[in-house]
Structure 1
Amino acid sequence: MPKLNQHRIPQLTWAGRDFLIHSAATVVSGLGNAGAPIATAFAILRLGGGAAEIGWVTGARLAATVLFLLVGGALADRLPRHRVMVAANLGNALSQALLAVLVLTGQARLWQIVVLAAANGVGLAFFAPASEGMVMESVDQRQAPRAFAVFRTALNSSQIVGAALGGALVAAVGPGWVLALDAAGLAAAGALRLFLRAGAAPARQPSGPGMLAELREGWREFTSRRWLWAVVVQYGVVNACLIAAESVLGPLVADERLGGPRPWGLVNAAMGAGLVAGGLLMVRWQPRRLLMAGTAGVLMFGLPAATLAAGAPLPLVGAAMFASGVGGTVYGVSWMVALQQEIPAAQFSRVAAYDWCGSVALAPVGTAAAAPLAGGLGLGDALWSCAAVMTLLSLLVLAVPEVRALVRHSTPAGSGAKRLEPVAA
């Protein structure tokens, strides 16, 4: 038998045991997480709800995340991160399982869905800052950009399958079974993360500062960098418009014109394919001007809303979602490389919590305003407005000199102990 050419086989010698376990857990939970928003939206529609009800449920989850993120960020710098992630995974599995039972038995009421969505948001608030450090704790710091790109590619690959499968299952067997699968995936991910060895709590002095003092220290780190808070403020508004367009208004367009949950799942899978393509691109491409490249990615976010507003056919909507997915990964990787090289490791989780707060703080407002906006302007004009705001703000942030000037370092600044972190999933 001829010997295999080892130079043609992708080498992952830098990917240690913890990296592989964390990536596998994220893929498992990502399969369900991609289908759950589709299932929840169509469960609400089948209960007789509309844009307002979908907005309330989405907003409740996001508002709970915002309220608890700072506490989650502080705890992530005080406790073993993998234990925090396990607890959050299992808590979210329980909330999704309860929602699945209510939907499957026909007992679901809007207030129950809102409460369980808020519980899910609390779990995310504790999971996200803790998850932020795990990838980089399990690889050599010189491999940080590659590790993040590979991690996101694996996550987004699972979301392609999850979105397509979720839409098909909602159409075939109903949303309750999709929610049940999400609960099972979250429980399995939590079980896998029990085997993680990274993420031990940092050494602390018994007389060290309290949580409020640590949060103030993280706030000083956050506000002292104009490029950081400028991008976060910009992204907070963009994210509100994005969620309003794709989580509230998009399912309505799909229900009215595109054919329901199955085609909506397919276009969400197209976005997942774009996210994967962006990850493969960022494994190879290392842009020097990090935030310029990231802003170019955010400019793609308005394309799905524009095609939905224009009444474009399904293939064109899918192409726009694909382009938006590519832009999302270009932005995500560029942003995390910037944070890795600029933020001290000791304050990273707290700064990440402020980043998350700013990025999602306005999302509940966007979801709550989506239905009145659609009612006042019409569905098409509401989507056009979302697309216009996302595009304009993505251009305006380039007026900040520090955004244009921030460049990639050949090696991490300072001691080299800074991290590149994945967005939690």
Structure 2
Amino acid sequence: MTSVRGMVAPLGVRDFRRYYLGHTASAFGDTLTPLAVAFAVLHLTGSPADLAVVLLGGRLPVIVLTLVGGALGDRFSRRGVMLVADMIRFLAHGVTALLLLTGVAQLWMLVVLQLVAGMGSALFNPAAVGLVLSLAGKERLQEANSLLAISRSTTSILALAVAGALVATVGPGWAVLIDAGTFLVSAAFLQRLPHTPLGLNAERSAQPPDANPGPNAGPPSRTADGNPERGADPPDGDPGRSVGLSGRAGGGKREGRAGLPASIGAGVAAVGSRSWLWVWIVHVSLTNMIVVSPFLVLGPYVADQHLGGAPAWSAIGIGYAVGGLAGGVVSARWRPRRPMVAALLVFLLMAPLPALLAVPAATWLLVIAAAGAGLQLVVYNVAQTTAVQRDVPEELVARVSSVVMLGALVAAPLGMALAGPAAAAYGAGPVLASSAALTVLFTLATLLVPSVWRVTGGTSPDRGGDVSPEQGEGLSPGRDEGPSPRPGRQPVP
């Protein structure tokens, strides 16, 4: 068990703390918009199929451009890529809010703006995974990821209450407008991060891309003013300073003149060499398609038709967020010997929510079920994110994360596209009940895969031995997150 002091240790690093504050503001806004847009569409057309189209608009760019975002996050300043992404999303959500507030919004406009916002997410998410590694260091990754998950869950509790109240009283446009403003807050904190981030991994200095010093290498070279050159060890008495790989804000090693396709290919190859990661991707992909996507489409519809609308859906979301908060605390303090097995067993807590929504059960029962689903989300995602950050060389983290995100999300649009027609043909209840049953089936089937059981807290199943962090490989899971929406992450309701 990690102590409370150890759990909050990453917040002692100034630059991680700045990122954490910006992330918290953005997470508040991220929770406002999905609920607001969902009920804006339902009030506009009343069709769950139309809601699915709008949701797809936000997901498709993430699927198409995530690999590009990962490559850019490893080739250029991660901070810079994330700043551009925040500006894109600020504009998209700002225009959406104005259309809703003025009453001129049409379905096609919302779809187009969701496409633009999705482009920003595709750039932001892979770079964020790499930036957290640069700021927190490998020794405190699980604590850092858990703190970010706790932040998301805590802000979601307040944001969902605010969103439900705004939608029910003054309309969804105000909720989306607040979200747009949070992207500016996030960008302001990102702007304050140095090009050479500080991190807990101060002891780990970066070498120039082509350097390979032998055991008899001399002291680090210095510039005329006595400061170490980029790639040299930090001077004594300068605690916490990490020069980073290539001297860019959280960026990875430069790969010479390798083009974008070759850069993406390196990320795909890194994933292909890790069988446990492929198993994880398949599990998330199938459950996102057949379990989570129908829930995201049909959940607001059932709440609108049978539970009283936005306030009930907001209450369910708050329950989910409270469970996520508990999951963040659990993830920060609990280090299971077989983290992948533990995460999959906890994932079974997702099943009661769609099962009860299929009835539909009373709102208070759905809130309790949502808390269990929220807890599993965070435990599952912290394990996956931490595994990637520990097991993958730092210069490949954004690309590998983008492959994981792509694999997790690629089947989700199909689930969203089929949920509406399936509900029209068979009813929302049978579709949601089937989702609950498949949650259990897919998870138990994944637990039968041997590599799942070979993943331990300090050993890679694909290498069979302990490998030091300096080698950049061989360490395995702990997870959330991701930045939310977020690697291999299940979407949040």
Question: Does TM-score exceed 0.5, indicating one fold?
Answer: yes
1:415 maps onto 2:470 in alignment: yes
Secondary structure at the residue paired with 1:407?
coil
Residue 171 (structure 1) shift: 0.6
**Aligned 8 A contact 1:136 1:421 in 2:** no
In structure 2, the partner of 1:253 is: 302
In structure 2, the partner of 1:45 is: 42
Secondary structure at the residue paired with 1:270?
helix
C-alpha distance after superposition, 1:134-176 (max 9, x if no partner): 2221224212211211121112211111112111111111111
In structure 2, the partner of 1:145 is: 142
**Aligned 8 A contact 2:53 2:111 in 1:** yes
Code of the aligned partner of 1:347: L
**Aligned 8 A contact 1:340 1:412 in 2:** no
Q: How does 1:109-124 map to 2 (within 5 A)?
A: 109-124=106-121
How many pairs does the alignment contain?
A: 418
C-alpha distance after superposition, 1:172-229 (max 9, x if no partner): 1111111111111112211221111233433426x43211112112111111222111
Flag the 1:241–1:187 CA change in 2: closer, same or farther, 3 A: farther
Q: 2:133, 2:252 → 1: CA distance?
A: 15
Code of the aligned partner of 1:176: G
In structure 2, the partner of 1:356 is: 405
1:221 maps onto 2:270 in alignment: yes
Segment drifting more, 279-288 vs 237-246: 237-246
Q: 1:307, 1:412 → 2: CA distance?
A: 45
Segment drifting more, 237-246 vs 105-114: 237-246
Q: 2:58, 2:4 → 1: CA distance?
A: 45
Q: How does 1:149-228 map to 2 (within 5 A)?
A: 149-197=146-194, 198=197, 199-204=249-254, 207-228=256-277
Q: How does 1:18-417 map to 2 (within 5 A)?
A: 18-197=15-194, 198=197, 199-204=249-254, 207-409=256-458, 413-415=468-470, 417=472
Q: 1:412, 1:24 → 2: CA distance?
A: 33
C-alpha distance after superposition, 1:384-405 (max 9, x if no partner): 1111222211111112110121
Aligned-pair RMSD on alpha carbons?
2.0
Secondary structure at the residue paired with 1:77?
helix
Flag the 1:202–1:217 CA change in 2: closer, same or farther, 3 A: closer
Q: 1:333, 1:388 → 2: CA distance?
A: 25
Residue 314 (structure 1) shift: 0.6
Code of the aligned partner of 1:74: A
Q: Which runs of 5+ in 2 are unaligned?
A: 198-248, 460-465, 485-493
Q: 2:28, 2:481 → 1: CA distance?
A: 17
Flag the 1:9–1:396 CA change in 2: closer, same or farther, 3 A: closer
- The structure showing larger relative contact order (alpha-carbon pairs under 8 Å, at least 6 residues apart) is 1
Code of the aligned partner of 1:87: V
C-alpha distance after superposition, 1:33-61 (max 9, x if no partner): 11211100110111123110000010121
Residue 12 (structure 1) shift: 4.2
Greater C-alpha radius of gyration: 2
**Aligned 8 A contact 2:153 2:325 in 1:** yes
Q: 1:234, 1:11 → 2: CA distance?
A: 29
| Identical residues among aligned pairs (%) | 32
**Aligned 8 A contact 1:342 1:413 in 2:** no
C-alpha distance after superposition, 1:246-279 (max 9, x if no partner): 3210001111111110121111011011011011
Residue 302 (structure 1) shift: 2.2
Secondary structure at the residue paired with 1:133?
helix
Flag the 1:306–1:153 CA change in 2: closer, same or farther, 3 A: same
**Aligned 8 A contact 2:381 2:480 in 1:** no
Code of the aligned partner of 1:230: V
Segment drifting more, 132-141 vs 244-253: 132-141
Q: 1:312, 1:195 → 2: CA distance?
A: 48
**Aligned 8 A contact 2:27 2:156 in 1:** yes
Q: 1:124, 1:220 → 2: CA distance?
A: 24
Q: 2:114, 2:103 → 1: CA distance?
A: 18
**Aligned 8 A contact 2:252 2:396 in 1:** no
Residue 11 (structure 1) shift: 8.0
Task: Give TM-score, length-normalised by structure 1.
Answer: 0.94
